[in-house]
Amino acid sequence: MELGAGSTSETNWLKEARKSEGRAKKKMKHAELETEHSDFMAALDQDWECGAICPENGGHEEDVCESLSLLQIDTGWDSPKDLPVGCEMWVSRNVLRKQRHWERTVTAKKNKRKQERERRKAKHGEDKGSSEQHSKRVLKAITRERLLEAKERGPRLCIDLSMTGHMTRKEVSRLAAQIRRLYGSNKKAEKPFWICLTGFVPGSLVYDECFRMNDGFSNYLMDTTQESYLDLFPLETIVFLTPDSENVLEDVDSSKVYILGGLVDESIQKKLTLRKAQEHSLQTARLPIREYMVKNVNEKNYHSEILAINQVFDALSTYYETKSWPEALKTGVSLGKGYVLPDADK
């Protein structure tokens, strides 16, 4: 019984040894096949790169097709005639087209970024060389100082809002927008005016529109009051600016208070502001448009000296800085008014 048990163990060991030997042979054979396949593909790639299979080079297309067929690779070629005629790489035209497009796009973006860097560098150099740079906080402090100085020394510009009760909502909205532009121009001025809104009644339409349309209106550095300008300033210091006046404004006097009628009247009620000034025997003046400008020929033959309040202010502010009426009127009077400087077309 012991001999029989030993024979069985030996037999099992031989079986396991043969199985292990078989598995090892299979692995070796599989490795050899993979090596041969790799060598073949490397040779095939070399033929493609050097143009060995190109028809004009006398290549062996039939051998390639047969070899690829044996490897069970579906090339999409039914015969050697379907092989590429040129010597380019084995890539479809669509792939080549997309690749070229991508390369062009990348190159264009690189060039654009380079130009943008150069532009910023040049601009930074100009700014650094031209003037000292200030932070926003410093600029805000400088603006505030200028405005407060104008409050103490003048000149003053007062916008009379007592006539807005006869205006439509659309006209009042336009007036609120003009006030915003006027204040923005005054902040940027080297020699600003001190702005005052009179007849500015809380709850009125113009009051609500100014807060609705103008962000940060409550922080504007200017005076607002319900009172009339007649109760705030001595009458002899008041100059009412109206296009209907016979008096020409020759200079801007810092001791005077200049009044602008807060009026946007699409129906244009003539001499409305003039009559109001005459009722209180106030001094009036108009911008010297006729003295420095000429009528420009236009299709509608339209010529008007009636300006928006922000346009009048732009003219006053420019003159106060430059002491030049031609320069001031060029800034304040738009081409749409039908007036130009005599040498504008030269």
* CATH code of the domain in which 261 resides: 3.40.1280.30
| Mean predicted confidence (pLDDT) in 131-138 | 71
pLDDT at 126 over 90: no
Q: Residue 258: inside a domain, yes or no?
A: yes
Distance CA 263, CA 171 (A): 8
Longest distance between any two alpha carbons in the chain, whole Å: 147
Look at 79-83, 120-124, 277-281, 320-324 and tell me which has the smallest mean pLDDT. 79-83
Q: Residue 254: inside a domain, yes or no?
A: yes
Q: Residue 214: inside a domain, yes or no?
A: yes
Provide the residue range defining the domain that includes 256.
Answer: 137-288
Residues 6+ apart with CB under 8 A from 55: 61, 83, 85
Look at 35-39, 119-123, 194-198 and tell me which has the smallest mean pLDDT. 35-39
Strand partners, 339: 295
Q: Residue 259: inside a domain, yes or no?
A: yes
| Chain length of the chain | 346
Per-residue confidence (pLDDT) for residue 48, from 0 to 100: 45
CB 198 within 8 Å of CB 229: yes
Q: Residue 277: inside a domain, yes or no?
A: yes
Q: Residue 218: inside a domain, yes or no?
A: yes
Give the number of domains in the chain.
1
Q: Residue 4: inside a domain, yes or no?
A: no
Q: Residue 101: inside a domain, yes or no?
A: no
Per-residue confidence (pLDDT) for residue 184, from 0 to 100: 93
Pairing, β 339-340 against β 294-295: antiparallel
CB 261 within 8 Å of CB 272: yes
Q: Rounded to the nearest 10 degrees, what angle do helices 61-70 and 2-50 cross at?
A: 150
